[in-house]
Amino acid sequence: MFFPRVIPTLLLKDNALVKTKKFKNENYIGDPINAVKIFNEKEVDEIIFLDISATKNWQQPNFEILEKISSECFMPLAYGGGINKIEHVKKIFRIGVEKIIINSAAVDNYDFLREIIDFVGSQSVIISIDVKKTIFNKYKVYSHLLGKNIKTELLDLLEILNDIEVGEIFINSVDRDGMMNGYDIELLSLVSSNIDMPLVACGGAGNVDHLKQGLKLGGAHAVSAGSLFVYHGKHNAVLINYLDKQQLDGFK
């Protein structure tokens, strides 16, 4: 039986957790170590940390905070941000991270992707693609580093990643980020029908039904969310939370 994964995605900026809306308006959430401890207790499937400042500020991964996170983390851990050398990859895996997430390098250096896969295997490599709609309702690949859409076409990029045989594709809708109004199902369906590897959906989940829609309608193999797991109530009070057993059973 297929059991989909439900994954909290947490954003790191320096040594703190933040949450964004449409990749802007960073809101301080709290201490990442405390969040990991809470998610440990709630027995989450796995957890993703994305350092949103490392790549944008041309910094290497924050190995110090990553090591602290890894030492406290009892669930599978994936990390992305600032990874642009094979030495970064080797150090991250020595720390204890199970999967790495590559974003900017995915459209800049395919040889680097192949080098990473040769070192750790496809199953440990996730490619994160940020997607934004144009005013003409066309999906474009968005660069967090440049702060704008890039020329690489989404379907062309997916074809290349199929050929390279990366482990998973992590799709994040910039327009839905932090809005909690549901995934872009059209985007997920487009991606899932054009890749050979598992799809992780992100961007927009605000309730359990949204998660189920990402799986059943969007064709995702796993669903991820940030706001859903760090906010509570109509006023978005900060509260680290996860699905209870009854809710999780509803995915079986």
Measured CA to CA, the distance from residue 141 to residue 197 in angstroms comes to 19
Q: Which two structure tokens, joined as six digits, stand for 176? A: 């839905």
Q: Is 130 a catalytic residue?
A: yes
Phi-psi group of 28: left, alpha or beta (phi > 0 → left; psi -120 to 50 → alpha; rest → beta): beta
Please pick, among 45, 108, 118, 130, the residue that the annotation labels catalytic: 130
Q: Are 142 and 149 in contact (CB under 8 A)?
A: yes
**Measured distance CA(209)–CA(251) in Å, rounded:** 10
As given in the structure block, the two tokens for residue 102 are: 């590559």
Going by C-alpha positions, the residue among 93, 52, 100, 105 that lies closest to residue 78 is 100
Kindly list the catalytic residues.
130
